Structure 1
Amino acid sequence: MLWTPSAKWAANANIAKFIRWLEERRGLSFASYESLWRWSVSETEAFWGALWDYFEIKSSVPYERVLASGAMPGARWFPAVRLNYAEHVLRCERPGADALLFVQEDAAPAGVLWDDLASAARIVATQLRALGVRRGDRVAAYARNIPETMIAMLATAAIGAVWAGCSPDFGSRGVLDRLDQLRPKALFCVGGYRYAGKYFDRREELRGIVAGLSGLELVIDMSRRGPQGELDLPAGALRWESLLDHAPVPGGDFSFDQVPFDHPLWILFSSGTTGLPKPIVHGHGGIILEALKTLQFHMDIHPGERAFFYTTTGWMMWNVVVSMLMTGACPVLYDGHPAYPEVDALWRIADRCGVSFFGASPSYVEIMRKAGVVPKARYALSNLRAIMPAGSPVSPDCTAWFYDNVKSDLWVATGSGGTDVCSGLVGGVPTLPVYAGEIQARQLGVAAEAFDDNGVSVIDQVGELVITKPLPSMPVSFWGDETGERYRGAYFDMFPGVWRHGDLIRINARGGCFVLGRSDATLNRHGVRIGTAEIYGALAGIEAIADSLIVNLDLPGGRFFMPLFVKLKSGFELDDALRRRIADALRREYSPRHVPDRIVEVAEIPYTLTGKKMEVPVRRILMGASPDAVLNRNAMANPATLEAFVAYAASQSDYSLAPSAA
């Protein structure tokens, strides 16, 4: 145990206020978080109905019942209501107060007042309507993490249109693979961006995107002028400044489009390791409820606080950052390199902006550790009280690093969820202790279990992460999946009627959770399932290794072969001594089954554009599949890295796909 909340901390937590409200308004009493969680998943309608009332959800048509059908897939939430996501954001408008802070490389933080944000959103929404954008039309973005992008998204939602975005570091093919599935009517775009002190001209990619998008009628240039000057856009394209150059629309005169609970709000995309990325549709009502619950109860964000999570516009965390506005908090947007001009750039921003809540990935912590950065030695971080590591499995050492190097009195609220629900499934609880490497609990309303291969819930065993009760933010659909076949295949093929998330999880007796990586990349050796995070966690302590990837091959005749691919740091050699160190560490920290059959040096490890190791495609390539049959190279951050694995598969020097003699 690394931290436990004080009595004052626990009493001031948002979740404690909700518990007191439940007692006063509903006559319910809960002695522990565990008892509250069990009520939230056993009394589904009562819990989500209570959230609706507690958060004072605004609906032009009141709800008659919470859940018309609890079947999965096909759950129908709040079937009669009419509401709008942007209205719930802009109702938090506080004249004269900062709605957000914006930071660029080598620039001081700049505040954006609520007055200006809300006014701009209403003007843009009004002009989009005048230009013919209607409810249900798709509005796409090729955009940076700047205030204009957030305003454009809120304006889109305000009129019932559907938002979808990509960050400008995507190439044109990767963007078209995503956005052309949607046939957007309008595109907000930039012609370049600054990163690590350099300007990246994206005008050529943008021309290809504009030319390739079917049905595109309207292009709006949001570029903050870069060294390349004006964009070469088609006739009729608008500049952001001209879109805003209209009379203000008073809040009382603006009409938010009132849409059904499950009306599409935005479309996020899967990583697209195989085929075209899946366009995941989220609804207005589900995101409103889920965002308020997660941000207030499991991230404990309070009105007036400043919150910072480094993200680009192409990651679901950008959408979560936008939703922070609904809590009355002030999000910090950063457009730039996370380690420029110095490796501790994000800590400098957090300190200058007086951040209370800071989001960080475990890989970022590893960079800090290797660079010898100790934030508490450089910065006061006087307002900082909570950190959320997310994005990949968190080791005990990673959790401990924050207490040793940032603050001893700090709530480390590790979380895990995903693009599929645009939220967390397991995460922090500010009234519980923090244990090293452990996610504190299952989130309220999330009936998460670990299932074995027979669909039986297990404790203290590794199993499939499943959800046995519907959630409001489960996707409405996949765009274009008229029959629902792709949707059912993605989540309900293994356990009918139960959502399979695709991660491995272990839940201990006190409800603590350990997410161990994607289940599709599971290392199943002789019936014993090993999460890849265990391998990577053990290798993190070996100085010579810069990066690694491990897969397990199920070969004919009941045989197994598990190669480990390693990228070494400069100056190190993969000799017998290093191989022994690796094997000894895995055997010592876990078991003999964790020791690879072969260790192979490669120049680079393949990653998706969203930063995930490509374990599944590599495994399939080693099993003889063509690379183009198992992955989309446009979804890769470094496509050239595949050649080493293709060559290794072709040689078959270490394993054979032929049946064994036995």
Structure 2
Amino acid sequence: MVNANMVKNDIIWTPSQDVLENSALAKLARKWGLDPRDYEAMHRRSIADLGAFWGEMWDVLGVIGERGEVVFQPDPNAWMTGAKFFPDARVNMAENLLRQTGDAVVAIERDEAGHRAEITADALRARVAQAADGLRQAGVGPGDRVGVVLPNRFESLISLLAATSLGAVWTSCSPDFGTQAILDRIGQVRPKVVMAQARFRYGGRDHDISERLSEIAARMEGLEQLVMVGEHSVETAIPTPDFASYGDPAAPLTFTRVGFSDPVYVLYTSGTTGAPKAIVHRTGGVLIGMMKEHQMHCDMRPGDPVLWYANNAWMMYHWLVATMASGAVPILYDGAPIVKKAGELDGTPLWNAVAEEKLSHLGVSPKYLATLADMGYEPARDHDLSALRWLMSSGSPMAPHQYDWIVEKVTPSEGYASISGGTDLMGCFLIGAPTLPVRRGTLTAKPLGMAT
């Protein structure tokens, strides 16, 4: 909701009545006896008693697991590094993401060439069970590392869910990374199994990294299996089973619950100031933190189709697939967001997805939006964007004039959130708040439960 006077006052959007009545954040405010518009009061309450707040979040968000009696255990001698949350809890990432059953579509994959596929809850659970059985037969268990070099398709999602269902740790590199870049990252954690795809398409070109994967398999210490997706010409002394037949198709789906602070993901620093450094993220904190961001700060609701443009090496991929824990449907997009057709730049791929999937949420970078503006591309001119409730961006600051471009060229009716966080946090320091107005050139709010 916007008008000319609001833009002059730097307010580009105000929450609708539906948001003020039906968003999870508004419902929480009323439960606390607060006005949904008084976010400052909500934030003060959320950090005043950390045990009470995070204990309530476990229940309100619907975390699956054994919570335990203790929520917050402070350490007066090390108030930050020594404090523990849910020290007795037992949880499993995949169990929370695979909570749906039946024939409802729970994930969709698309690519730059126009390919589209969808997968139902039961079909995804079956494929995860099979892949997990293959990993189990390979000796993978809690704490073991599983690496992937995969494009953003179902196989990447299945590998993540299969590994974490066993209590193993998942770590990833995009297939466009070079040999040394992959060894410098995944090689640090000595994975027992790596899953990879040699042939893929990006930016209108076909790529084959079979030779690269052969070298990686020869040089990666501790690697026992290289599971391959699709055709390849990899040559290696270790087994290279085919992903499609990896594991028993009749294997049951089981979940190994681990401690709240047991590891689940390893990500890496950029490597711009030396060798990339591994960053270990822990199961419970990532899960409950992302569920809070999705439900409270992004107004995600069950069935919402959500796309964040990212490869699986960036934390926003983990953030995207975690929307499944809140009942949303992640759209996995593989390829370039802007492609060349007949010698001209084509900015339609992501906006085709917005219109055709009736996306409720789209996440991109300010650089991408700036490129569209430089091209003279206007998403609302050629696409039905009426289902889009939230446009989000991350990766760099959003210039004030870009807010105006969103109102004029996308749609004035959707909310906008410029968020700031990082790989080291696997979450946000500053984020949206659906019950607050969006102001030109600003980030909206501090997250609940975080005294930033």
Please give the TM-score of this superposition, normalised by the length of structure 2.
Answer: 0.92
Structure 2: stretches of 5+ with no match in the other structure: 1-10
* 1:8 is aligned to 2:18: yes
Give the structure 1 partner of residue 320 of structure 2. Answer: 321
CA distance in 2, matches of 1:431, 1:61: 30
For 1:535-587, what per-residue CA distance to the aligned partner results, in whole angstroms no more than 9, with x for missing partners? Answer: xxxxxxxxxxxxxxxxxxxxxxxxxxxxxxxxxxxxxxxxxxxxxxxxxxxxx
Change (3 A) 1:59 1:245: closer
Q: Do the aligned residues in 1 keep the contact of 2:26 with 2:36 (CA within 8 Å)? A: no
Give the structure 1 partner of residue 215 of structure 2. Answer: 208
Displacement of 1:17 after TM fit?
2.0
Q: Do the aligned residues in 1 keep the contact of 2:359 with 2:387 (CA within 8 Å)? A: yes
Q: Do the aligned residues in 1 keep the contact of 2:419 with 2:428 (CA within 8 Å)? A: yes
Give the structure 1 partner of residue 3 of structure 2. Answer: none
For 1:409-428, what per-residue CA distance to the aligned partner results, in whole angstroms no more than 9, with x for missing partners? Answer: 11011111111111111110
Give the structure 2 partner of residue 45 of structure 1. Answer: 51
Displacement of 1:20 after TM fit?
3.4
Give the structure 2 partner of residue 372 of structure 1. Answer: 376
Identity %: 35
Give the structure 2 partner of residue 382 of structure 1. Answer: 386
Displacement of 1:30 after TM fit?
7.0
Match of 1:247 among 242, 246, 250: 250
CA distance in 2, matches of 1:46, 1:8: 28
Any residues of structure 2 matched to 1:119-518 within 5 Å, and which?
Answer: 119-223=126-230, 225=231, 229-249=232-252, 254-340=253-339, 341=341, 342-448=346-452
CA distance in 1, matches of 2:234, 2:349: 31
The alignment's C-alpha RMSD in Å is 1.7
Displacement of 1:354 after TM fit?
1.2
For 1:284-305, what per-residue CA distance to the aligned partner results, in whole angstroms no more than 9, with x for missing partners? Answer: 1101110100011111111101
Give SS of 2:306's match.
strand
Deviation above 6 Å: which 4+ runs of structure 1? 28-31
CA distance in 2, matches of 1:335, 1:319: 15
CA distance in 2, matches of 1:40, 1:285: 18
CA distance in 2, matches of 1:366, 1:439: 18
Give SS of 2:424's match.
coil
One-letter identity of the residue aligned with 2:15: P
CA distance in 2, matches of 1:304, 1:315: 24
Any residues of structure 2 matched to 1:602-617 within 5 Å, and which?
Answer: none
For 1:439-484, what per-residue CA distance to the aligned partner results, in whole angstroms no more than 9, with x for missing partners? Answer: 1111111111xxxxxxxxxxxxxxxxxxxxxxxxxxxxxxxxxxxx
Displacement of 1:95 after TM fit?
1.0
CA distance in 2, matches of 1:143, 1:63: 40
CA distance in 1, matches of 2:218, 2:297: 43
CA distance in 2, matches of 1:101, 1:244: 23
What is the total number of aligned residue pairs between the two structures? 435
Displacement of 1:113 after TM fit?
1.0
Change (3 A) 1:279 1:431: same
CA distance in 1, matches of 2:322, 2:430: 19
Displacement of 1:230 after TM fit?
4.4
- More deviation, 133-142/254-263: 254-263
CA distance in 2, matches of 1:21, 1:140: 43
Structure 1: stretches of 5+ with no match in the other structure: 449-662
One-letter identity of the residue aligned with 1:112: I
Q: Do the aligned residues in 2 keep the contact of 1:69 with 1:77 (CA within 8 Å)? A: no
Give SS of 1:442's match.
coil
Displacement of 1:31 after TM fit?
6.6
* 1:69 is aligned to 2:75: yes
Q: Do the aligned residues in 1 keep the contact of 2:308 with 2:363 (CA within 8 Å)? A: yes
Any residues of structure 2 matched to 1:98-117 within 5 Å, and which?
Answer: 98-117=105-124
Displacement of 1:233 after TM fit?
4.2
Give SS of 2:246's match.
helix
Q: Do the aligned residues in 2 keep the contact of 1:120 with 1:244 (CA within 8 Å)? A: no
CA distance in 1, matches of 2:415, 2:270: 31
- More deviation, 166-175/332-341: 332-341
Give SS of 2:267's match.
strand
Q: Do the aligned residues in 2 keep the contact of 1:355 with 1:383 (CA within 8 Å)? A: yes
CA distance in 1, matches of 2:85, 2:380: 46
CA distance in 1, matches of 2:403, 2:394: 11
CA distance in 1, matches of 2:437, 2:112: 37
Please give the TM-score of this superposition, normalised by the length of structure 1.
Answer: 0.64
For 1:222-255, what per-residue CA distance to the aligned partner results, in whole angstroms no more than 9, with x for missing partners? Answer: 23x4xxx544344422101111553142xxxx43
Q: Do the aligned residues in 2 keep the contact of 1:394 with 1:437 (CA within 8 Å)? A: yes
Give SS of 1:165's match.
strand
CA distance in 2, matches of 1:208, 1:236: 14
Q: Do the aligned residues in 2 keep the contact of 1:177 with 1:276 (CA within 8 Å)? A: yes
Q: Do the aligned residues in 2 keep the contact of 1:220 with 1:237 (CA within 8 Å)? A: yes
Give SS of 2:438's match.
coil
CA distance in 1, matches of 2:198, 2:235: 9
One-letter identity of the residue aligned with 2:358: G
Displacement of 1:84 after TM fit?
0.9
Displacement of 1:63 after TM fit?
3.2
Rg: which structure is higher? 1
CA distance in 1, matches of 2:133, 2:30: 42
Displacement of 1:310 after TM fit?
0.6
Any residues of structure 2 matched to 1:82-97 within 5 Å, and which?
Answer: 82-91=90-99, 93-97=100-104
CA distance in 2, matches of 1:382, 1:61: 40
